Amino acid sequence: MHSQNQNQFLFQFLSNALPNATQAALKMEQLIYTDSASAIVKARLFAEEVLKEVFKIEEIDTTYISSLYDKVLYISNNGLIVKEIQHSFDTIRRSGNKAAHDGTYDDITVAFQLHKDMYKIAVWFYETYTSEQEVVPTYTHPKPGVDPRLIEMENMMKTILEKSLLSPTGSSNETNKGINTEEEVPVEEGNIETRHTKKVEVEESLEEEIEEYVLPGIEETVIGVDEDSSLLKEISRLKDSAKEAIENANEFSGFKEYMHVDRKIQKDLESALQNQSQKNGASLILLCGSVGDGKSHLLAYMNKKYPEMMNEYFIHNDATESFSPEKDALETLEELLNPFSDENIDTANQKVILAINLGVLHNFINYEHQSASFNKLKKFVESSNLFSQNIVTNYELDQFNLFNFTDYHPYELTAEGPVSEFYQSILHKICKQETNNPFYMASKRDEQNNYRTMLHENYDFLKNEFVQKQVISLIIQTIVKKKLVISTRAFLNFVADILICENLVQIKKLTDFEKLKNALPTLLFDNADRSPILKSLSYFDPIHTRTSVTDQLIIELNTLSDWKTINDEYIKNETSRNWLKDFETNSELVPKLFSEYFEGFIRIIFLTNSNFSKVLQDEVYEAYMLSLFHFNTGDIKKIKAFYENFKNILYQWKGAIEKGYILMSHPLDKYKIGQKFTVKPVLYPFKQLNGSILYTFKSSIPVGYKKEDLSKEALLDIDYPLYSLLEKVSDGYRPNKGDEEDAIKFTEFLEKVLNFGDKNKELLVNFSHENKYYKIKRDDFGSIVFRRW
């Protein structure tokens, strides 16, 4: 239980249990305003006295545990303190060392932080090791009562106050010049209430007038500012909880207009609308896709930009909605699309834009309609190849026009790897240092008000172009590897999540570890519970990747006492360099805190150092994205090389009895039986493209085999998870039953391909214990021949 008594010394509740520590705390408070370096040393003495008593109570032999570092390490390793208290002890220890050995070190901000850490330790000790029932006071910062300047000002204030109360009007005395009282109130003798009111007014005015004179800046350092952050308000508009998050096809706010990024599908739709506006008769535009792909945003943008043209159309933005409770979604669509039925389409003149899910469209065209037929619409959809392996972005025929959001992606393929103009444009809008950027101007307003938190630090960190590139690369990986569907809204919310931290106090009030905890690299990789995107990104945390470079860094950080040379070599970003500045003199971090520091260090250099990030690149992912590019560009030479490797993987997955013969029996069977693998690859009709950037493409690698007589074929889409597994098999990994269950589509594909073989004509048998091979085949007359091979 906590209470607060303004007249009580904060650490008084420890006086019985820890008299020496209490005395050190009192000295610390008395020195904090006049000699902060000495106050920091007293804070260390306080920590030493607390630990001395802990070791005494726990009956721990201190013969070989002499230094403060060793003591903190011991109680940490033995589970006697929680992580937060360990942080407090270590912060006091390191700052105390610096103050004791560096004559120029005199930081009052650090002293105030240590005072808070002392309070945490005091409460922890009191609640853990004492049975006293005294009420623990709530935390209050030290009052500057002992500073001579304050005593002088307090005396001056009393003198002014006394003269003011003796004056009939409170303003005639020279001493009161410049003091702003509310009005001249005659003070009658004996009128205690009026005199008290007058006294309060004068005291408040005096406090305001001398506030800046008395130790300028100290009060703000301790208390912080309670004013609202302009940048926080702007960044919060990116969150899902903000009103701007609600997508409405008929509404496009100024904020959304600023954040809007042109995309190819938007330009294609603009062109189609302009062409349709010149035609008479019915017009149906289908926007096909899935939830969260930006259809609502695009329609809202088009309404804003082309109101006259869009007014010609009836817009239905949710094909799962029903016009009435009695009708389901398909019946509603039938009513909506009645003008485009076979019976009405030639005479109708209605114009409709329909945003529809691909699954709903597929169900609709195959539905047995009661009141109308839609064979022309069905024929149009089928002729568009929307549900085929072909890339379909836009298809137009007669009164129908179709746009497929599925083949428009938020990223592009290049020979150098995937990029995203879309995500890059969004980050540019948020971070560009221009006067039309509301985020940048908000940060400037906060800067003018001396308001700076880790949000502002993270915002400056994100301005770095390489940081943006790394963040975008990670987002693309979540789409490819984890199959996340990331809407524009989800991406904006993600940006807010990696900028806005929990602790938004002034930056000067945070400890070194608090800065790391609230820094963008930590928010990016260590917040799995915050959103599906961040959960996926936690799997790509660079701390999970062991390389010779990271091992060498661990060795250097553990052996060098000066980490400045390491920071100079690896950290080029000024913002993040400042986060690690106070760690540069290594004063023996206990292992748990060293791990915390190392994780922050690795994440920072991964996001800022191009040479280091290359070392941690996922080579399998890089190869997959490159193969994806080659297939979508129709590069026959590269596709041929892929098929050759893929065929070898099939042999390794099933096992090969001999070159050209794939195993049909179990690898551990006494007799091994194999069949000749005689199939031809299926080549998809991809157009050969000369462009270096692909904006529309298939997001999986399409492969297939067919029988030699071309009568049957088996098709397979290889996504990244399957590709990754097949690469492991290529390196010698033997798939287990779990792998076969996870890759069920692949195993079904393989069984189908095996059925294309000539097992009815020829088999190869291996007696492994004799190392002999026999071939079983039919001769020209249909008889079975069994001979040594």
Nearest to 150 by CA among 58, 235, 30: 30
For residues 757 and 678, is the Cβ–Cβ distance under 8 A?
A: yes
Tally the domains of the chain: 5
Q: Is position 268 within any domain?
A: yes
Same domain? For 402 and 283 the reply is yes
- pLDDT grade, residue 147 (50/70/90)? very low
Residue 53: predicted pLDDT: 92
Same domain? For 471 and 576 the reply is yes
Binning the chain into helix, strand and coil, the percentages to the nearest 5 are 50, 10, 35
Q: Is position 125 within any domain?
A: yes
Last residue of a domain, one of 393, 410, 427: 410
Same domain? For 427 and 463 the reply is yes
Q: Is position 370 within any domain?
A: yes
Q: Is 748's pLDDT higher than 70?
A: yes
For residues 312 and 277, is the Cβ–Cβ distance under 8 A?
A: yes
Residue 197 vs residue 70, higher pLDDT: 70
| pLDDT cut 70: percent of the chain above it | 83
Q: Is position 252 within any domain?
A: no
Same domain? For 423 and 389 the reply is no
Q: Residue 316 belongs to what H/E stretch? A: strand 314-316
Last residue of a domain, one of 588, 619, 650: 619
Q: State the average pLDDT over residues 642-669.
A: 82
Q: Which residue segment(s) compose the domain that 175 sits in?
A: 148-214
Tell me the per-residue pLDDT of 309-339, one tens digit each, with 9 for 90 and over: 888 889 887 644 544 555 677 888 888 899 9
pTM beyond 0.95, yes or no: no
Residues 6+ apart with CB under 8 A from 484: 478, 532, 533, 536
CATH code for position 126:
1.20.120
Same domain? For 513 and 466 the reply is yes
Residue 628: predicted pLDDT: 94
User: Across 356-365, 440-449, 756-765, which has the greatest mean pLDDT?
Assistant: 440-449
Residue 184: predicted pLDDT: 39
For residues 525 and 541, is the Cβ–Cβ distance under 8 A?
A: yes
Residue 157: predicted pLDDT: 59
Residue 49: predicted pLDDT: 93
Q: State the average pLDDT over residues 505-523.
A: 92
Q: How many residues does the chain have?
A: 789
CA dihedral 692, 697, 699, 704 (to 10 degrees): -100
- How far apart CA 167 and CA 164 sit, in angstroms, is 5
Same domain? For 203 and 317 the reply is no
CATH code for position 362:
3.40.50
For residues 40 and 110, is the Cβ–Cβ distance under 8 A?
A: yes
Same domain? For 42 and 183 the reply is no
Q: Is position 219 within any domain?
A: no
Residues 6+ apart with CB under 8 A from 782: none
Mean pLDDT of the chain: 82
Angstrom distances, CA of residue 183 to CA of 162, 172, 205, 777:
18, 13, 13, 117
Same domain? For 574 and 530 the reply is yes
Q: Is 176's pLDDT higher than 50?
A: no
Buried b / exposed e over 315-350, threshold 16 CB at 10 Å, is bbbbbeeeeeeeeebbbbbbebbbbbbeeebeebeb
- pLDDT grade, residue 186 (50/70/90)? very low
Q: Residue 52 belongs to what H/E stretch? A: helix 36-57
Tell me the per-residue pLDDT of 604-622, one tens digit each, with 9 for 90 and over: 999 999 999 999 999 999 9
Residue 762: predicted pLDDT: 79
- How far apart CA 333 and CA 300 sit, in angstroms, is 22
Nearest to 662 by CA among 648, 643, 681: 648
Q: Is position 403 within any domain?
A: yes
Same domain? For 671 and 699 the reply is yes
Q: Is position 227 within any domain?
A: no
For residues 231 and 501, is the Cβ–Cβ distance under 8 A?
A: no
Same domain? For 781 and 638 the reply is yes
Q: State the average pLDDT over residues 499-503.
A: 93
Same domain? For 653 and 673 the reply is yes
Last residue of a domain, one of 196, 214, 232: 214
Q: Is position 442 within any domain?
A: yes
Tell me the per-residue pLDDT of 78-87, one tens digit each, with 9 for 90 and over: 888 888 898 8
Same domain? For 278 and 343 the reply is yes
For residues 384 and 402, is the Cβ–Cβ distance under 8 A?
A: yes
Residue 203: predicted pLDDT: 45
Nearest to 754 by CA among 698, 645, 668, 675: 675
Tell me the per-residue pLDDT of 4-56, one tens digit each, with 9 for 90 and over: 444 468 899 999 999 999 999 999 998 888 888 889 999 999 999 999 999 99
